[in-house]
Chain A
Amino acid sequence: MNWDWLGRNSDRIVDLFVQHAWLAAAATLVGLVVALPLGAVAFRYRWTYPPLTTLAGLLYTIPSLALFVVLPGILGTRILDPVNVVIALTVYTVALLVRVVADALASVPEAVRQSATAMGYRPVRSLVTVQFPLAVPVIGAGLRVAAVSNVSLVSVAALLGVEQLGSLFTEGFQLNFFTPIAAGILLSLLLAVLFDVVIVLATRLSTPWARAVPSR
């Protein structure tokens, strides 16, 4: 470990950390927002479940580097634009979460769904105010996987020159210099743990009922 180097580059390392965090966070959040309605469709109209989840699975097998390279051509963005990375990772997040959301909705007891209908809920309101809140524990678990996977996938974008913690890896390799690689790994790990903690806390805060135990 070369502490001098770290000291001299601390400003840049913080910038890379922040950049990495927002790329991964944006992809995770946008992915979740897109996956919620898609998952609801896959759950509600059963026949769409196999094609949607299969398609999602196929998307997930596309190598990330290929996606980073192809997207600018499709979207008409500049190749160095970080938006490419966000969109590519959003695709992966959606691919992962469509099935999670559909399965999470399936975990809501049928009697609860039926009683929402019987009380006079319209479908969308039932979904938003009854079914999604009850699906939060399962969705939260899937979101943890997606977030951590996004943190690690963002690094690949370094090969395209989009700046984030992954840039420390490429530089370290080029210079045959261990310190930036170690810093990159540790900070990625820290970021992954941070995301995980935030999601776990958010899940807990939004499900006080899940910890309600018989009291008397």
Chain B
Amino acid sequence: MISFSAVSKVYPDGTTAVHDLSLEIPAGRITVFVGPSGCGKTTSLRMINRMIEPTSGVITIDGTDTRQIDAPQLRRGIGYVIQNAGLFPHRTVADNIATVPVLQGVTRREARRRATELLERVGLPTSMARRYPAQLSGGQQQRVGVARALAADPPVMLMDEPFSAVDPVVREQLQTEFLRLQEELGKTIVFVTHDIDEAVRLGDRIAVFATGGHLAQYAVPADVLRRPADDFVAGFVGRDRGYRALSFAGATGLPVQREPTVRMGAAAPQGPGGGEHRWALVVDDDGRPRGWLDRDALSPGDPIGLQHLRLGGSLAAPGYSLRTALDAALSSPSGRGVAVDDAGVAIGTITLADVVAAIEATDRTALADPAGDDAGAWSPPVLAKGAERTVPAGDRGVPR
């Protein structure tokens, strides 16, 4: 556990970067420092590994005052991931990752060998070990940065906007893998970001910093969205916070309707089109959704090709929240969001009306359990009355 007690930082030019910060950071969890630029997040982070010394107050790690530990020694025991990775341009990827073990006296050979293992762990091919950082993409560099921070297996990791400089698609990937990695490793992580969405997605707890280095709120993500401590936090989490808060509402009890499907390449279905029958869900040979077919645009009997499909609606995978369900319904041309199972096979659809009804039925002031365990309570959706369990194989027209 890392603890700040009454920590302030005033820079020599008189800027108060952090004001009277008291905070307990739980071990084994991800704690996110979030807030607008210039509110003291980086300063707070760097006071933990003593890259910046507090003006007043005490920071302890597992009860030990950090000032009692030799600073370079302290830092070797704390992983650090910097924005833009901050890799050493003159060292190969393997040598970059080997940095801290070598400082700790591990032989270069042994450190390189472990570095290669770590490359795999962060999802990079081992063939990259001998490249220089300049030969990697931004996302790959960031992964190497994470591997370097993990190399000496430190219990604590500090991450300063590690995913801010990569494009949104890569960022989402990196976030997903970061969460997976953390599930395996259970490090004590302090993560800085200015992006509230990232904070909500990654944080077990969120510390919202306000201008002037004040801690405005320290709570679980659902609480920050649902019960902002003050106008500043309310303004910072933004107008979409009602929508974001749906992330924490499990879709338990949301009915999944039976949805007939047609297979890619099969003949366009006969029968009445128009209205709710205008759109037909098209799946591949394995039953995974491919897109929606506009039956008005294709004569019955014609084979269905990719060019006839409306693609790209979001899917509700197991564990989905009301936010995901709502988005799936809104992003589907039919107004019906596609629910899939773990294997990605379509199990039916969720109607917009049902999602809205579920949202209305939710006690929105008590959606999140303030005690903290807000992510756990998901149970499989129940099927609507009268609906059989998803789609009979025959309906897919697939001889499986």
Contact = CB atoms under 8 A, between A and B. Distances in A.
A214 B134 contact: yes
Interface stretch (A118-126, A139-147, A171-179): A118-126
B134 A114 contact: no
Interface string A184-216: 000000000000000000000001110011111
B8 interface: no
B200 to A, nearest CB: 27
A111 B84 contact: yes
Nearest to B145: A115
A111 B134 contact: no
B72 interface: yes
Interface string A84-123: 0000000000000000000000000101101111111110
Contact of B100 (A119, A207, A216): A119
B94 to A, nearest CB: 13
A119 B76 contact: yes
B100 A115 contact: no
Contacts of A120: 72-76, 100, 103
A119 B84 contact: no
A215 B89 CA distance: 15
Nearest to A117: B51
Contacts of A130: 88, 90
A131 to B, nearest CB: 10
Contact of B135 (A111, A118, A207, A212): A212
Interface residues of A, number: 23
Given A114-B82, A114-B86, A120-B73, A212 B134 contact: yes
A96 B310 CA distance: 68
A119 B80 contact: yes
A134 interface: yes
Contacts of B132: 208-209, 212
Given A117-B75, A214-B135, A207 B90 contact: yes
Specify the main secondary structure of chain A where it touches its partner.
helix
A213 B133 CA distance: 9
A84 to B, nearest CB: 39
Given A117-B75, A119-B76, A119-B80, A213 B134 contact: yes
Interface in B81-125: 82-84, 86-91, 99-100, 103
B131 interface: yes
B72 A112 contact: no
A12 to B, nearest CB: 45
B88 A116 contact: yes
Contact of B90 (A114, A133, A214, A216): A133
Contact of B99 (A119, A122, A207, A213): A119
Interface of B: 49, 51, 72-76, 80, 82-84, 86-91, 99-100, 103, 131-132, 134-137, 148, 158
Interface of A: 109, 111-112, 114-122, 130, 133-134, 207-209, 212-216
22 contacts: A109-B86, A112-B86, A115-B86, A118-B49, A118-B82, A119-B76, A119-B99, A119-B103, A120-B72, A120-B73, A120-B100, A120-B103, A134-B88, A209-B91, A209-B134, A212-B131, A212-B132, A212-B135, A213-B135, A214-B136, A215-B135, A216-B135
